[in-house]
């Protein structure tokens, strides 16, 4: 019986994976893009630009994480920023405990706690004295949170629009709570005035190539991890779930396990991105888990191509880059949001699979001609 199921499931899986079979060329393209990312600092001696590009890479990482769950798993997560924000706060808490507060004079207690009349460090902050533990939590907290939310949704066979709405509502709740619990979280101001990250005596200055390389390394690692997942059996089943959830279920798979898995991996990568973001931005803020950012991630993903990890990543870098340069140019100072909105609408109308999708179909057409 189980052999039959396996045979049949292979059929389904093969059907959906045919389109994604060209693994070798994919690895080459991914490798080239990552190599390009790594050589950027050698062309640049401008601390500001380097710092800006670092933030672009992080946004790319976020969009890539979303494309894993949305493009491959069919889970439209409008609350992707939750995991990003949780990661970012974990790093901020660790770095905060390493600063000497200059505005309060209180030793050992973060300045905002003094402002909120907190007298002893809350228990939840204690683990963050250890940087190792903080980094672990920066990934573990988003992963566990995503598993809980995923378990809650997917065990109940919630799909499509309802996933979008539940994740959006959860995002708003977490955001409200962080702003409300300002004795612990710093509230609306977030956690500011942080120490610089120092690992084994090596400092990661937000404006230096060291921080940039740190991000580039983790971006590359998570990109290939995601690629490996999409190529694995799990990844193929996921794509089958996305296209024909019921059929996969008939073969005896517990669909929810795969969904929870990819949801959690995506959250882990976002949490990592959040930690890196705190390092380059030098603060954590509730806007990092705001509705605006969360929807922006979806947009980047859509522009780049949700069904391509690298497409989503480059889409984010591309959109954020355009946004940055438009808003900095004098001509577009007042109209840049107008232009961005227009671009989104056009992309959705004319490039339903994003830029990557457009390239793919172009390539397919050329291949056909030959």
Partner 1 sequence: MKEGRRSFLKKTVVGTGVLAASNFPYIWVKNSSLAYAAKGEVKVGVLFSLTGTTGIIEESLNKATIMAIEEINDSGGINGMKITPVVEDPASDPATFAAKARKLVLNDRCVSVFGSYTSASRKAVLPVFEKRENLYWYPTLYEGRECSKNVIYTGAVPNQQQDEFVPWLVEKFGKRWYLIGSNYIYPKEENNYCKKLLADLGCEVVAEEYVPLGHSEFASVVNKFRSEKPNVIFSTVVGDSVVALHRQYRAAGLDPETMPMASLTTSENEVAAMGGDAAAGHFTSAPYFQVWDSPENQKFVEAYRKRWGEDKVTHFVSEPSYFQVYMFKQAVEKLDPSDISPQTIREAVKGVELVAPQGLVRLDPATLHTYLWPKIGVCKSDGQFEILKQSSEWLAPVPYKAYPDQVCTEAGLKQV
Partner 2 sequence: MDPITIISQLVTGLSIASILLLVALGLAIIYGATGVINLAHGEFVMLGAYSAWALQTFFNMSLFESLIFIFIIVALLGWAIERTVIRHLYARPLDTILATWGIGVIAQQAIRLTAGGELRYVEMPKQLADSVLIFGVEISSFRIFVLIFAATLFGLTWYLMYRTTFGIKLRAITQNPEVASSFGINSNRVFGLTFAYGAGLAGLAGALISPLKSVSPEMGTTYVVDAFLIVVLGGVESLMGTVLSAIILGELSSILSFYSNDTIAKALVLLAIVILIRFRPQGLFSSKVRS
Query: Site residues (CB under 8 A) for partner 2?
Result: 76, 78, 152-153, 156, 158, 160-162, 164-166, 168-170, 172-173, 176-177, 179-180, 291, 295, 298-299, 302, 334-335, 337-338, 340-345, 347-349, 352
d(CA 275, CA 284): 9
Q: How far is the CB of 237 from partner 2 (least distance, A)?
A: 22
SS3 content of the chain, % helix, strand, coil (to 5): 75, 0, 20
Q: Give the three-state DSSP class for 203.
A: strand
What does 164 bind: partner 2, partner 1, none (CB cut-off 5 to 8 Å by kind)? partner 2
What does 329 bind: partner 2, partner 1, none (CB cut-off 5 to 8 Å by kind)? none
> Quick one: how far is CA 240 from the chain centroid?
23
- Long-range contacts of 15-21, Cβ-Cβ distance < 8 Å, separation of 24 or more: 15/240, 16/236, 16/239, 16/240, 16/243, 17/236, 17/239, 20/230, 20/231, 20/239
When binding is defined by CB under 8 A, the residue of 1, 18, 36, 45 that contacts partner 1 is: 45
Q: What are phi and psi of 105, to 5 degrees?
A: 75, -5
What does 90 bind: partner 2, partner 1, none (CB cut-off 5 to 8 Å by kind)? none
Residue 176 binds partner 1 (CB under 8 A): yes
Helices (H) and strands (E) in the chain, counts: 16, 2
What does 200 bind: partner 2, partner 1, none (CB cut-off 5 to 8 Å by kind)? partner 1
Tokens encoding 369: 């001609």
Q: Tell me which stretch binds partner 1 (CB under 8 A): 35-43, 68-76, 129-137, 143-151.
A: 35-43
Contact present, 74 and 163 (Cβ < 8 Å)? no
Contact present, 185 and 89 (Cβ < 8 Å)? yes
When binding is defined by CB under 8 A, the residue of 158, 209, 249, 343 that contacts partner 1 is: 209
Q: Tell me which stretch binds partner 1 (CB under 8 A): 72-80, 236-244, 256-264, 320-328.
A: 320-328
Which residues here bind partner 1, judged by CB under 8 A? 41-49, 51-52, 55, 102-105, 112, 115-117, 176, 179-180, 182, 187-190, 192-194, 200-202, 207, 209-210, 281-283, 285, 287-288, 292, 324, 327-328, 330, 333-334, 336-337
């Amino acid at each position: 019986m189980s052999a039959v199921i396996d045979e049949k499931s292979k059929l389904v899986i093969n059907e959906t994976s045919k389109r994604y079979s060209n693994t070798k060329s994919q690895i080459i393209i991914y490798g080239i893009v990552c190599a390009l990312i790594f050589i950027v600092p050698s062309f640049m001696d401008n601390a500001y630009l380097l710092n800006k590009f670092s933030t672009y890479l992080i946004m790319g990482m976020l969009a890539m994480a979303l494309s894993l769950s949305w493009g491959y798993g069919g889970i439209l997560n409008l609350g992707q920023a939750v995991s990003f924000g949780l990661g970012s706060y974990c790093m901020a808490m660790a770095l905060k405990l390493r600063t000497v507060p200059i505005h309060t004079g209180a030793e050992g207690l973060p300045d905002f706690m003094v402002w909120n009349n907190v007298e002893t460090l809350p228990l939840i902050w204690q683990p963050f004295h250890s940087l190792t533990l903080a980094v672990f939590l920066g990934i573990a907290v988003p992963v566990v949170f995503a598993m809980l939310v995923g378990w809650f949704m997917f065990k109940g066979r919630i799909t499509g629009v309802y996933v979008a709405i539940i994740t959006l509502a959860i995002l708003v709740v977490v955001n409200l709570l962080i702003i409300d619990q300002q004795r612990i979280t710093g509230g609306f101001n977030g956690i500011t005035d942080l120490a610089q990250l120092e690992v084994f005596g090596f400092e990661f200055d937000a404006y230096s190539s060291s921080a940039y390389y740190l991000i580039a390394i983790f971006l590359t690692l998570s990109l290939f991890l995601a690629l490996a997942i999409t190529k694995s059996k799990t990844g193929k089943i996921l794509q089958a779930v996305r296209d024909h959830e019921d059929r996969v279920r008939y073969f005896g798979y517990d669909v929810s396990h795969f969904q929870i898995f990819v949801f959690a991996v995506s959250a882990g990568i976002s949490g990592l991105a959040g930690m890196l973001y705190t390092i380059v931005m030098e603060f954590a803020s509730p806007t990092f888990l705001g509705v605006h950012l969360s929807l922006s991630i979806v947009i980047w993903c859509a522009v780049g191509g949700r069904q391509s990890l690298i497409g989503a990543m480059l889409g984010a870098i591309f959109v954020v880059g355009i946004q940055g340069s438009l808003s900095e140019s004098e001509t577009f100072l007042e109209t840049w949001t107008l232009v961005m909105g227009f671009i989104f609408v056009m992309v959705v109308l004319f490039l339903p699979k994003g830029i990557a999708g457009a390239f793919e179909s172009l390539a397919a057409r050329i291949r056909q001609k030959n």
